[in-house]
């Protein structure tokens, strides 16, 4: 069954980029409350059909976020990980939300705190607004056209975008690079690519936190050649682009979103800071 959007006559006026981004941040902070509560009570996980783990926190966070988005932007479709995994099909159109209510479930289960809540608004295949929130670290990243930001926010805290700190990607250095890569989902192709670079520091991290490291100028390059899902990276894509960085497919073509016919898969990407894509040393 395909979910349909309400008619345009029933939709509320569209909020500005800034107010909509603040609304996405509020939804992520609210989801963080449920996630931290379940984390404190004890985590029970089971496997989905694709053999990836899921917990009660994934579902609770997704329910909170989807309810918030329905009020914030009535009529805009929402593609959310758990609903999609359960077989819900959404007609995306040219404007829709992508939601990963708990990115890095393995990190959540392990207790290392490297998990995030990811919410992105996609327009014409490109993520234009994104929030990446790390509840265990009380750290919020947010990006919109013209600016990227970081703020320290405990779950459920007021958004108060007035004191968000602007962040930006740093220029790619001439020498060795700082490289981020997945802590729990490494793959041989990505390892082989990283081995071709001069690496000053290698930072393994879980979830979309790696996009935050790139956007705030702590990392130069984040390659991922293995297949991921659109909701894993859309919010981080919007954040990095807002911070002055770039993300493309491994073949050099633009990374776009809304590919329901391919199961919302992203078959690898290269993300880097300000400037040209760094060339391998060999």
CATH of the domain at 239: 3.40.190.80
User: Residues 67, 117: one domain?
Assistant: yes
pLDDT at position 4 over 90: no
Cα–Cα distance list, 220 to 31, 83, 165, 169, 233 (Å): 30, 34, 20, 8, 17
Same domain for 143 and 232: no
Residues 64 and 163 in one domain: yes
Q: Are residues 117 and 189 both part of a single domain?
A: no
Do 34 and 57 lie in a common domain?
Answer: yes
The answer to whether residue 279 is domain-embedded is no
Alpha-carbon distance of 17 to 19, in angstroms, equals 6
Looking at the structure, tell me whether residues 59 and 133 fall in a common domain. Answer: yes
Specify the pLDDT at position 2: 38
Q: What is the mean pLDDT of residues 224-242?
A: 97
Same domain, 163 and 181: no
pLDDT at 1: 31
Among 145, 167, 189, where does a domain finish? 167
Is 100 among the annotated ligand-binding positions? Answer: yes
Residue 102 pLDDT = 97
Residue 281 has pLDDT above 80, yes or no: no
pTM: 0.92
Q: Is 105 annotated as a binding residue?
A: yes
Does 5 or 171 have the greater pLDDT score? 171
Statement to judge: residues 22 and 102 lie in one domain: yes
Domain that holds residue 198: 177-272
Residue 198 has pLDDT above 90, yes or no: yes
Q: How confident is the model at residue 15, as a pLDDT?
A: 63
Res 47: pLDDT? 78
Q: Is 17 annotated as a binding residue?
A: no
pLDDT at 6: 35
Model pLDDT for residues 49-58, shown as the tens digit of each residue:
777 888 999 9
Is residue 220 part of an annotated ligand binding site?
no
58 among the known binding-site residues? Answer: no
The reply to whether 197 and 107 lie within a common domain is no
Q: Which of 15-19, 61-65, 142-146, 233-237 has the lowest mean pLDDT?
A: 15-19
Residue 282 CB partners (closer than 8 Å, separation 6+): 196
Residues 227 and 124 in one domain: no
29 within domain boundaries = yes
- Among 134, 167, 200, the domain boundary falls at 167
């Amino acid at each position: 069954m395909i979910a349909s959007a309400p008619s345009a006559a029933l939709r509320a006026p569209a909020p500005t980029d800034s107010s909509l981004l603040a609304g996405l941040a509020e939804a992520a902070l609210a989801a963080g409350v449920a996630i931290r509560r379940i984390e404190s009570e004890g985590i029970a996980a089971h496997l989905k059909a694709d053999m990836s783990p899921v917990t009660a926190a994934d579902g609770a966070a997704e329910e909170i976020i989807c309810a918030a988005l329905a009020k914030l932007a009535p009529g805009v479709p929402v593609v959310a990980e758990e609903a999609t995994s359960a077989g819900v099909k959404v007609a995306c159109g040219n404007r829709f939300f992508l939601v990963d209510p708990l990115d890095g479930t393995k990190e959540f289960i392990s207790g290392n705190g490297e998990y995030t809540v990811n919410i992105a608004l996609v327009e014409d295949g490109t993520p234009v607004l994104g929030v990446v929130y790390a509840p265990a670290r009380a750290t919020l990243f947010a990006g919109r056209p013209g600016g990227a930001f970081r703020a320290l926010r405990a779950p459920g805290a007021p958004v108060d975008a007035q004191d968000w700190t602007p962040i930006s990607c740093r220029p790619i250095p001439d020498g060795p690079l700082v490289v981020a890569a997945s802590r729990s989902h490494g793959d041989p192709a990505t390892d082989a690519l990283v081995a071709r670079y001069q690496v000053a520091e290698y930072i393994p991290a879980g979830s979309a936190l790696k996009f935050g490291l790139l956007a705030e100028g702590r990392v130069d390059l984040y390659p991922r050649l293995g297949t991921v899902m659109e909701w894993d990276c859309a919010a981080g894509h919007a954040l990095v682009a807002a911070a002055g960085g770039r993300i493309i497919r491994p073949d050099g073509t633009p990374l776009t979103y809304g590919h329901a016919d391919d199961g919302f898969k992203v078959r690898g990407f290269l993300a880097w800071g300000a400037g040209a894509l760094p060339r391998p040393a060999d």
